[in-house]
């Protein structure tokens, strides 16, 4: 069966050959490879149709300009290769009854995934108006990359996908994340050779050192060397083949090359290679991977206006443009589409013929219908211990200290123990540094590379994943969550910016998914940001950046939540809430250093449920209208606020001070802007509309202004926060560098509350002096003064 598709298209000019039953009858005798080829041609036909046509999908009428979309938007180059892989993997699924999902790294090849889902019948099941016939095919074509239609990329709208390929870099991390704790699953992951140049992808190959062949599934990477990006060749396509093989052997894989462009030869080669590869998956040796080398835009136009297109970067998007305006191009398009011999593939009503659908697996084994790719279908709620059982006892507020994350570690230990198959804790080498070490009483760190006798908490089947790549942590977790499991990513606060772009894409995925009825809710992506800006004493300026929150709040209010629990008990309550939630991104910022215990567990639970509230024991307004509101969010700012409140109580006892702590940052937004937004009447009652508000904030101060600018009292709001001053210094010196310290807060109050008189003026001077003394002490002795380090709320 040697073919050159391009030579046969014109035979059918002006005919509707699929009315001739004999053509299709002849296909009943097809062998397996011929059926795979038929499926591939059908998928390619449907892909080209999506990019170009808004009508006349089966070319039953002479093709004319008005059948062609006015704006040609799509990516052809990668699509035939993606279709080729789909077609061949289906055979393996059927023959081996293998659960499999497909990750299209070159996700801009959306037409391929859509064509596949339509051929498998899933598209019609998900979107009943897109029927699997000529009417549905017309709608399928028209809606693609069309106003009111579907995205041009593989997207949440695409059945069978857990991966939007828009940004590039994360296909393989997603694939491994999907495979963890999925022992029966194979994740086929096509990696584009453009994407392979990105950093995250380049390190993701090493994920094999973290895949437990006992309890996890298998990832089959298929590196698709189609040779070109938008405008350039790719690096991996242009290095010598021995170098390429060494690279992947060096990454710890057994590489297999499938290279060529003659379809019949390539079908035989791919099928044989897949048989070998699936046998190898079970033999205990290194994981196999496939290097698939095919022309970019394979089977598309070879040349356009004398320039080569197939096999070059020119095939990347729309290889034939100006089709509406140039009859010669319209004819080329028609010939191109007919080269797939649609008359053999679809019946007169546009339904795919049996020879095509015969290659499709059954029911949930169809990759487009796999429940693994709609993880909410498989999601089981976590078995959660009662977080109250881990409470720190608080006899009186702010008189004893606890490391909040250490307490959380105990809770997480038992979460891990109670959910041995569907919860993972991820972090870049910092789980112990972030003081969550109690988890190692229940589990170890997953590790499949060599072990030494000195190693601790390391080995196969660990529930903690540590690799020094925030990209990998994020990518693994996304893959794990989107296939229906739960997890928590703990990270140094400053370096979570490394995954800003990945967060953006995941948030967009959730934003889109929430509008798609068949997408079932998945577990929220939970971040625990510790080792935060105020306590990077030993790492200094490069480790001081609380700006991730600013990135997060740009995303839609429906999907983002930000929590700043000020002590251990509020952290426990927050963590419990986050682990129960669905379809959100929860960002929790909490310190690992000792902080004062503010609330009993009952108080903490109420405070967290409200999201913010008055600390009455620290306030002196006693229910009356206060003279000033001291607001705070974050553990260190709260500590400094309390110390300021204590000084004001002592030195200006007549001043009515109200202390408000904010745990749930989104409460500050108007109710019209965020589902958690506090109604204006409540906000005004809490913060007043006419009194100065000194807001001591964990992050960059502008964020508070941004969240509150519509509030009545906003003009009275004065925000302190991190203003990009820092270095390796003591904690209190850091506070002073940024004016969030207790002394400065007292000065702020005195500056803003009118009519305080000479006592206040005197106090203000003492505060200024105290700052100078504290700084001098620090510079002399290298640590904070004892009265700062040991400060607690004064006994009443």
Q: d(Cα 275, Cα 767) in Å, to the nearest integer? A: 77
Interface pick for a second copy out of 113, 190, 398, 467 (rule CB under 8 A): 467
Q: Rounded to the nearest whole angstrom, what is the least distance from the CB of residue 554 to a second copy in the complex?
A: 5
- The region of 90-98, 231-239, 333-341, 631-639 touching a second copy under the rule CB under 8 A is 231-239
Q: Which DSSP category does 735 fall into? A: H
CA-CA-CA-CA torsion for 601, 606, 612, 614, nearest 10 degrees? -80
The answer to the question of residue 752 lying near a second copy (CB under 8 A) is no
The runs of H, that is alpha helices, within 342-420 are 354-357, 404-418
Residues 552-571 close enough to bind a second copy by CB under 8 A: 553-556
Q: What angle do CA 344, 140, 369 make, to 5 degrees?
A: 85
With CB under 8 A, what is the number of residues at the site for a second copy? 122
Sorted by sequence, the CB contacts under 8 Å of residue 304 that are 6+ apart come out as: 314, 319, 320, 329, 332
Q: Rounded to the nearest whole angstrom, what is the least distance from the CB of residue 2 to a second copy in the complex?
A: 25
Nearer Cβ to a second copy, position 495 or 518? 495
The answer to the question of residue 689 lying near a second copy (CB under 8 A) is no
Question: Mapping DSSP to helix (H, G, I), strand (E, B) and coil, where does residue 666 land?
Answer: helix
User: Distance of CA 61 to CAs 11, 65, 353, Å?
Assistant: 15, 12, 21
Nearer Cβ to a second copy, position 539 or 600? 539
Of residues 162, 206, 151, 159, the one with CA closest to residue 187: 162
Nearer Cβ to a second copy, position 645 or 668? 668
| Partner residues linked to 459 by β-bridges | 446
The answer to the question of residue 728 lying near a second copy (CB under 8 A) is yes
Nearer Cβ to a second copy, position 287 or 614? 287
Residues 391-410 close enough to bind a second copy by CB under 8 A: none
Q: Is the separation of the CB atoms in 144 and 179 below 8 Å? A: no
Q: d(Cα 591, Cα 571) in Å, to the nearest integer? A: 10
- The region of 29-37, 310-318, 409-417, 747-755 touching a second copy under the rule CB under 8 A is 310-318
Show the tokens assigned to 699: 């992050």
Interface pick for a second copy out of 234, 374, 593, 688 (rule CB under 8 A): 234
Interface pick for a second copy out of 1, 13, 65, 235 (rule CB under 8 A): 235
121 dihedral zone (left: phi>0; alpha: psi -120 to 50; beta): left
Nearer Cβ to a second copy, position 449 or 761? 449
- The region of 2-10, 464-472, 590-598, 611-619 touching a second copy under the rule CB under 8 A is 464-472
The answer to the question of residue 57 lying near a second copy (CB under 8 A) is no
Environment class of residue 17 by beta-carbon count within 10 Å: exposed (0-12), middle (13-18) or buried (19+)?
Answer: middle
Please report the DSSP string for 309-346 in residue order: -TTSGGGSS-SS--TTT-HHHHHHHHHHHHTT-GGGTB
Question: Mapping DSSP to helix (H, G, I), strand (E, B) and coil, where does residue 50 land?
Answer: helix
Pairing of strands 693-697, 717-720: parallel
- The region of 202-210, 477-485, 653-661, 678-686 touching a second copy under the rule CB under 8 A is 202-210
Interface pick for a second copy out of 62, 308, 364, 679 (rule CB under 8 A): 308
The answer to the question of residue 700 lying near a second copy (CB under 8 A) is yes
- The region of 97-105, 493-501, 613-621, 622-630 touching a second copy under the rule CB under 8 A is 493-501
Residues 516-555 close enough to bind a second copy by CB under 8 A: 537-543, 545, 547, 550-551, 553-555
Q: Rounded to the nearest whole angstrom, what is the least distance from the CB of residue 434 to a second copy in the complex?
A: 10
Nearer Cβ to a second copy, position 96 or 246? 246
Interface pick for a second copy out of 65, 230, 606, 772 (rule CB under 8 A): 230
- The region of 218-226, 269-277, 727-735, 759-767 touching a second copy under the rule CB under 8 A is 727-735
């Amino acid at each position: 069966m040697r073919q050159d598709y391009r030579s046969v298209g014109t035979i059918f000019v002006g005919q509707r050959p699929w009315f001739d039953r004999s053509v299709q009858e002849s296909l009943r005798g097809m062998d397996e490879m011929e059926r795979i080829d038929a499926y591939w041609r059908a998928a390619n036909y449907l892909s080209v149709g999506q990019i170009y046509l808004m009508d006349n999908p089966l070319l039953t009428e002479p093709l004319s300009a008005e059948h062609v979309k006015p704006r040609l938007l799509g990516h052809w180059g990668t699509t035939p290769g993606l279709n080729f892989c789909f077609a061949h993997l289906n055979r393996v699924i059927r023959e081996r009854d293998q659960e499999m999902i497909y990750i299209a790294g070159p996700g801009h090849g959306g037409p391929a995934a859509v064509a596949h889902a339509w051929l498998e019948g899933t598209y019609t099941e998900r979107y009943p108006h897109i029927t699997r016939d000529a009417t549905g095919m017309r709608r399928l074509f028209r809606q693609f990359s069309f106003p009111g239609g579907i995205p041009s990329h593989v997207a949440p709208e695409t059945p069978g996908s857990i991966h939007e390929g828009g940004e590039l870099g994360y296909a393989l991390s997603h694939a491994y994340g999907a495979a963890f704790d999925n022992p029966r699953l194979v994740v086929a992951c096509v990696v584009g050779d453009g994407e392979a140049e990105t950093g995250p992808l380049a390190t993701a190959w090493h994920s094999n050192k973290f895949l437990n062949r006992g309890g996890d599934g298998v990832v089959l990477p298929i590196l698709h060397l189609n040779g070109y990006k938008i405008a350039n060749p790719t690096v991996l396509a242009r290095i010598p083949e021995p170098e390429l093989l060494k690279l992947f052997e060096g990454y710890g894989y057994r590489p297999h090359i499938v290279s060529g462009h003659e379809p019949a030869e390539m079908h035989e080669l791919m099928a044989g290679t897949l048989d070998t590869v699936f046998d190898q998956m079970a033999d205990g040796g290194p994981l196999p991977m496939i290097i698939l080398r095919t022309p970019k835009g394979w089977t598309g136009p070879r040349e356009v206006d004398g320039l080569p297109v197939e096999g070059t970067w020119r095939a990347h998007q729309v290889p034939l443009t100006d089709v509406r305006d140039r009859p010669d191009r319209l004819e080329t398009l028609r010939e191109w589409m007919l080269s797939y011999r649609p008359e053999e593939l679809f019946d007169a009503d546009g339904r795919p013929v049996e020879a095509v659908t015969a290659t499709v697996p059954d029911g949930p084994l169809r990759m487009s219908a796999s429940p693994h790719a709609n993880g909410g279908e498989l999601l089981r709620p976590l078995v959660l211990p009662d977080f109250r059982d881990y409470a720190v006892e608080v006899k009186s507020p702010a008189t004893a200290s606890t490391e909040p994350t250490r307490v959380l570690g105990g809770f997480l230990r038992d979460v891990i123990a109670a959910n041995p198959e569907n919860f993972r804790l991820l972090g870049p080498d910092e789980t112990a540094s972030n003081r969550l070490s109690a988890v190692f009483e229940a589990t170890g760190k997953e590790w499949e590379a060599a072990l030494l006798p000195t190693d601790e908490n390391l080995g196969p089947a660990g529930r903690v994943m540590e690799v020094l790549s925030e990209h990998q942590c994020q990518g693994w977790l996304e893959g794990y969550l989107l296939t229906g499991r739960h997890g928590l990513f703990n990270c140094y606060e400053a370096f979570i910016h490394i995954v800003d772009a990945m967060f953006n894409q995941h948030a967009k995925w959730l934003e889109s998914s929430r509008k798609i009825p068949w997408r079932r809710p998945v577990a929220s992506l939970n971040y625990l940001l510790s080792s935060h800006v105020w306590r990077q004493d030993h790492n200094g300026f490069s480790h001081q950046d609380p700006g991730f929150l600013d990135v997060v709040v740009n995303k839609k209010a429906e999907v983002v939540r930000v929590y700043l629990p000020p002590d251990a008990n509020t952290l426990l309550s927050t963590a419990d809430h986050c682990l129960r939630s669905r379809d959100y991104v929860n960002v929790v910022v909490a310190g690992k250093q000792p902080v004062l215990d503010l609330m009993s567990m009952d108080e903490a639970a109420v405070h967290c449920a409200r999201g913010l509230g008055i600390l009455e024991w620290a306030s002196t307004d006693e229910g009356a209208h206060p003279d000033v509101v001291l607001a705070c969010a974050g553990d260190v700012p709260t500590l400094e606020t309390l110390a300021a409140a204590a000084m004001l109580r002592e030195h200006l006892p007549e001043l009515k001070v109200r202390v408000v702590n904010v745990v749930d940052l989104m409460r500050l937004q108007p109710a019209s802007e965020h589902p958690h937004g506090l109604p204006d009447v409540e906000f005004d009652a809490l913060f007043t509309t006419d009194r100065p508000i000194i807001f001591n904030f964990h992050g960059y101060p502008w964020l508070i202004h941004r969240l509150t600018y519509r509030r009545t009292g906003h003009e009275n709001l004065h925000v302190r926060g991190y203003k990009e001053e820092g270095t390796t210094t003591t904690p209190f010196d850091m506070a002073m560098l940024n004016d969030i310290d207790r002394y400065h807060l007292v000065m702020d109050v005195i500056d803003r509350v009118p009519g305080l008189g000479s006592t206040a003026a005197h106090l203000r001077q003492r505060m200024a002096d105290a700052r100078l003394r504290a700084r001098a002490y620090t510079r002399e002795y290298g640590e904070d003064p004892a009265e700062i380090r040991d400060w607690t709320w004064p006994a009443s």
